[in-house]
A and B are shown apart, each in its own frame.
Chain A
Amino acid sequence: MKFEVGSALSIAAILFTVIVVAAMLIWVERRLLGLWQERLGPNRVGPFGLLQVVADMIKIFTKEDWVPPFADRFSFLLAPPIIMVVILLSFSVIPFAPGVGVIDSDIGVLFVLAMASLGAYSVMLGGLSSNNKYALLGSLRAAAQMVSYEVFMGISLLGVVALAGTFNLREIVLSQADGWYILPQCVGFLIFVIAGVAESHRLPFDIPEAEQEIVAGYHTEYSGMKFGMFFVGEYLGVVLVSSLIVVLFFGGWLGPAFLPPIVWFVLKASVFVAFFVLLRAAIPRPRYDQLMNYGWLFLLPLSLLNLLLTGAFVLWQEGM
């Protein structure tokens, strides 16, 4: 049996790896934060604390699966699976290496953006159905933040789409053979990173779940595995945004031949995962209105300008 796009082996390997990596990130993040904050982090369970993930999993599975009597039962149950399903589905269009991927979709970029939009439903429903004031505040903030940053998350990708002339992520990677898009699209890259952090509401943009203000935001009333799904969903989001950055701006699996393509992909993606953790360790949260104004009044015009300049550049190059 060999790897090819859409084969059973490919599908199983991707699904397994993505979920295991997302679970391991709990440990990786805590260790890295410990490193950057001059402390140890979890180091008791197993060698280097590696089994911490297993311990956490056993614990979270044996916690009570509680639906509050004051909550709207149906949407309360529906909210956590949505985030996991949409983010896992987004991985289906990511080209990890030649022959590794679920499907070669011609609408890859659009599909990822559509799934990111659906992700907003998860936090919305979770917060609104909880019938808890903190949860409501968190979900409102999350919804407004996610829809705002979605607008120019899309526009920031269009520069790459214009250069490559396709929405197909695998073809976008292949078209970077003679130069990664990070050079012509460095502005688009910066906007996409910022929007990606805001979309996955990670620190410093975790205002929807700011512990110091609103307890845990939209998942205040969640417990057990349903809380775990929001949690894992966040880490899946980090992996997804890192993979997208690598695919769109850093040439995906392309790299010098002394390492196999998949190793290049994993290496590049790990750098960005570590960068996400560093952001958490280094930068404090902005105020909510600052976050929104920064998005609408600075990043949106900037991404439009970037798109126009890219378009002009492509046409000028074509005319030569």
Chain B
Amino acid sequence: MNSASQMLDALRPFLVYFALVIAIVVAMLALSWLLGQRQSRPAKDYPYESGIVSVGSAHFRISVHFYITAILFIIFDLEVVFLFAWAVAVRENGWAGFIEISIFIGILTVALLYLWRIGALDWRTQTQRRQLHSLQGPGGVTNIAPETGGRS
């Protein structure tokens, strides 16, 4: 018996389970398609936006913060992969490995500090930041409503 078929043997319960899961999900969708009612109403084919007639497409430009978060995720998740490799072999690597991973995590923390300082993790817009600055009271309390009618 070669190793490929041995691996397949070990995986067989998982494959059976996988097939069952797919079957259940497909059966659920098919059943709902079969049993579901069919209705036709005048406003049915419009997007639901709280009863207001939809204006324009939903594919507009979005806040760049989501994009930055995605990039940060890729960077940090890749670094976590190395931590995984270390964590499972802490004992084998000994203190030398520990010192190396400390340096690694140190660099990671410095990167995080840098991101924090340049404001990559700050979700406010430029305008909001300016307003907040002018609002900052004694002791750095920022959550006060402005004197001018509470508009922000």
Does residue B53 face the partner (Cβ distance < 8 Å to A)?
A: no
26 chain-A/chain-B pairs, Cβ below 8 angstroms = A60-B32, A61-B36, A62-B36, A62-B37, A63-B36, A63-B37, A66-B36, A68-B45, A81-B25, A81-B26, A84-B25, A85-B22, A103-B11, A103-B14, A131-B58, A132-B49, A132-B58, A133-B49, A147-B77, A151-B73, A159-B87, A161-B88, A162-B88, A215-B48, A229-B28, A297-B116
Contact string, B87-108, partner A, CB cutoff 8 A, digits 1/0?
A: 1111100110010011001001
> In the complex, what residues of B have CB within 8 A of residue A311's CB?
86-87, 90, 98, 101
Question: Would B16 and A289 count as touching, CB distance under 8 A?
Answer: no
Report the number of A-B residue pairs with Cβ-Cβ less than 8 Å. 197
Nearest CB to that of B102 among chain A residues?
A308
Question: How many residues of chain B have a CB within 8 Å of chain A?
Answer: 68
A295-320 vs B, Cβ < 8 Å mask (1 yes, 0 no): 01100110010011001101100100
Q: B73 to A150, Cβ gap below 8 A?
A: yes
- Please report which residues of chain A, range 179-236, place their CB below 8 angstroms from some CB of chain B when the two chains form the complex: 215, 220-221, 224-226, 228-229
Total contacting residues, chain A, CB less than 8 A: 77
Write the nearest CB–CB distance from A197 to chain B, whole angstroms.
18
Given contact pairs A144-B66, A225-B36, A307-B83, enumerate 19 new A-B contacts (beta carbons under 8 Å).
Answer: A8-B16, A11-B20, A64-B37, A65-B36, A81-B25, A85-B25, A92-B17, A143-B70, A147-B73, A150-B73, A154-B80, A159-B87, A215-B48, A220-B48, A221-B48, A293-B122, A311-B101, A315-B91, A318-B91
Instruction: Tell me the B80-134 residues at the A interface (CB within 8 Å).
Output: 80, 83-84, 86-91, 94-95, 98, 101-102, 105, 108-109, 112, 115-116, 121-124
CA A130 to CA B66, docked complex, whole Å:
19
- Whether A131 pairs with B32 at a CB distance below 8 angstroms is no
Q: Say whether chain A's binding surface is mostly helix, strand, loop, or mixed.
A: helix
- Tell me which of A134-142, A253-261, A274-282 binds B: A134-142
If the complex has contacts A15-B24, A110-B84, A292-B69, are A132 and B47 also in contact, measured as CB distance less than 8 A? yes
The A54-101 residues at the B interface (CB cut-off 8 A) are: 60-66, 68-70, 81, 84-85, 88-89, 92
Q: Top 7 closest A-B pairs, CB basis? A: A225-B32, A6-B13, A289-B123, A147-B73, A158-B87, A65-B36, A132-B47
| Chain B CB within 10 Å, residue with most, of A65, A134, A159, A292 | A65
List residues of chain B with CB within 8 A of the CB of A265: none
B19-62: which have CB < 8 Å to A?
20-22, 24-26, 28-29, 31-33, 35-39, 44-45, 47-50, 54, 57-59, 62
